[in-house]
Amino acid sequence: MKKPNIDRFVSDEQKERIKPENVDFSGVPVIKKPRKKEEKPVKGKEPQAIEQESKHASTQASYHDSIQERIRKIVKSVGKDVVYLRLTEEEKSRLGEVIYAYKKKKIKTSETEIARIALNYLLEEHNEKGKESMLAKVLELLNS
């Protein structure tokens, strides 16, 4: 980058006053430029393993974001078919507590909406992971 020609803007007298040699910095504390953080090796892990974990975490985050968006679109549409659930008193109470907690945060929800979110999450995860999904594992335990 080209330096500006200050001769056109500053008189000779002003040039003499603003020379860096004439400024006394003795009372000013030195501010050091922060150094780049050096990556400290994690005990028992190679830098490549750390990078893979980081990549996996970001991939997993975007995976969950896409599932959340798909579920949001599904639940946003009004359901027409009816499914009845038999809940225990404890399940009904816990569901009520969740709804109340969101109501206090001024977020409207309902038992049906929460049930549809849960159902669609289980189905999405089952489609993605198959036998490794929560649904498959719990069903396996229930039938063993």
Split into its structural domains, the chain has a count of 1
Domain holding 123, by residue range, is 85-144
- Can you give the pLDDT at residue 18? 59
pTM: 0.55
Q: Confirm whether 133 is domain-assigned.
A: yes
Q: Confirm whether 70 is domain-assigned.
A: no
Q: Confirm whether 46 is domain-assigned.
A: no
In whole angstroms, what is the distance from residue 82 CA to residue 100 CA?
A: 24
> What is the length of the chain?
144
Q: Confirm whether 123 is domain-assigned.
A: yes
**Torsion (CA) 69, 79, 136, 84 in degrees, nearest 10:** 140
Low-confidence ranges of the chain (pLDDT < 70): 1-11, 13-26, 28, 33-64
- Can you give the pLDDT at residue 97? 96
- Can you give the pLDDT at residue 66? 83
144 closest CA partner among 128, 136, 126, 86: 136
- 106's torsion region: left (phi>0), alpha (psi -120 to 50) or beta? left
Q: Confirm whether 140 is domain-assigned.
A: yes
Amino acid at the residue 62 = S
